[in-house]
Structure 1
Amino acid sequence: MATKTHKNPNNLRTLQRHITAHNDKSEAIFSDALSSEAPIRSVMGGDMTFSLMYTTSKYPVSMNGDKDIEGYQDHLKTPPAIVVPGGTVCRTVDFPPEFVSPMHRTVSLDYGVVLEGEIELILDSGESRILKRGDVAVQRGTNHAWKNTSTENWARMLYVLQSSEAVVVNGKPMDHDEGGID
């Protein structure tokens, strides 16, 4: 399904992304290849929103000839799963009040930063931690869920995901399971 840009269904500011490039004099400039307004896509039946800020399809990435921008444009037309195998994803996720994501695991190393609100990180062991604005969670292929702890306000997270090898625990690879997150 193609990503459609639309207004936020919540009280959070619409985000902008600013992509840089080079001019003919090798000076840094802002690219005009894409609009600066981040595209918003409803997921989980419209309960959450994803903004796909940028993606790459391989690591290390080649930025020559704007190949990375072309790959990102393809992902905007056909959004990837949570992780791009062999690549990276930068996305924001907006959670409505009291929303709890499904338990899920990705084959990736993820950095999750709370931008707005408070989020509870729940692990399948039953352990959990409350993360406040500016706090960072480092997800290392573990099974987890996210919960917006507010009864009234939306929360926003920024995630940077890098594809990884499967984590092996006691000789058993931990499988990818998106838990129904589309």
Structure 2
Amino acid sequence: MSSEPEPKLARRVITGLNAEGRSTIVADGATPRWVRRPTGSVIMDVWSTGALPVRVDDEENTDGPQLVPPRVGLCVRLAVFPPDEDVDGAGAAAYQAAMHQIYGDQGNAGGSAAIPGMHRTDTVDVVTVVDGEIWVVLEEGETLLRAGDTLVQRGTRHAWRNRSDRPCTLATTMITAVRG
């Protein structure tokens, strides 16, 4: 968890079974695992598993939010991106350096070195814009995504740009994938 003041966190409601085997709410509260990246983005891990398929009664993987998605399983994540104009340049540079350390050759490489935040993960990500708008920037081209749009990001290098004047919220399911 970040040491900065807690941002507005998403409510997370979890169902389960009571002692009699009947469906019930077993947890209801703010998303407990979150991190504020140096860029100002707030990442909230809503749910993650360490294996697929998952049993419906398995407990959540509680390793905490990380920049790197799980090596096995999936992660459901909410991300709030501030407008680019609100991003601190020094914070963005620190984040870029961290991404290079974490992702190595999966981060900026070759012709993509001039694109801040460029990275890839060994996941297939289903990303839906919940609120606002954001640009997904690829090595060859970019496109604007607005509320209700869904991107299927299949392990390719990409970066995010919020060129609007308000935050953008993304809901993402990151599913562990393998490369051919």
TM, length-normalised to structure 1: 0.74
Counterpart CA distance in 2 for 1:59 and 1:5 is: 34
**Equivalent residue for 1:177?**
none
Check the 8 A contact 1:5/1:38 in 2, yes or no: no
**Equivalent residue for 1:87?**
73
**Equivalent residue for 2:63?**
75
Runs of 4+ in 1 over 2 A off after TM superposition: 2-7, 79-82
Which SS does the other structure have where 2:159 is aligned? Answer: strand
1:16-48 Cα deviation digits (max 9, x unpaired): 01011001222111113xx510133111x2521
Which SS does the other structure have where 2:9 is aligned? Answer: coil
1:76-119 Cα deviation digits (max 9, x unpaired): 3xx34431011100111111112586011011110011011111
Q: Which amino acid aligns with 1:91?
A: R
**Equivalent residue for 1:49?**
42
Pairwise CA distance, 1:4: 6.3
Structure 2 alignment gaps of length 5 or more: 93-115
**Equivalent residue for 1:14?**
9
**Equivalent residue for 2:23?**
28
Check the 8 A contact 1:4/1:41 in 2, yes or no: no
Counterpart CA distance in 2 for 1:16 and 1:6 is: 17
Q: Which amino acid aligns with 1:20?
A: T
Q: How does 1:102-181 map to 2 (within 5 A)?
A: 102-125=117-140, 127-150=141-164, 152-166=165-179, 168=180
Check the 8 A contact 2:2/2:36 in 1, yes or no: no
Check the 8 A contact 2:124/2:155 in 1, yes or no: yes
Q: CA RMSD in A?
A: 2.2
Pairwise CA distance, 1:139: 0.5
**Seq. identity, %:** 25
Structure 1 alignment gaps of length 5 or more: 169-182
The number of residue pairs the alignment matches comes to 150
TM, length-normalised to structure 2: 0.75
Counterpart CA distance in 2 for 1:4 and 1:60 is: 34
The alpha-carbon distance between structure 1 residues 4 and 23, as it changes in their structure 2 partners (threshold 3 A), is farther
Counterpart CA distance in 2 for 1:162 and 1:6 is: 30
Q: Which amino acid aligns with 1:75?
A: D
Q: Give the structure with the larger helix fraction.
A: 2
Say which is worse superposed, 135-144 or 91-100, in terms of deviation.
Answer: 91-100
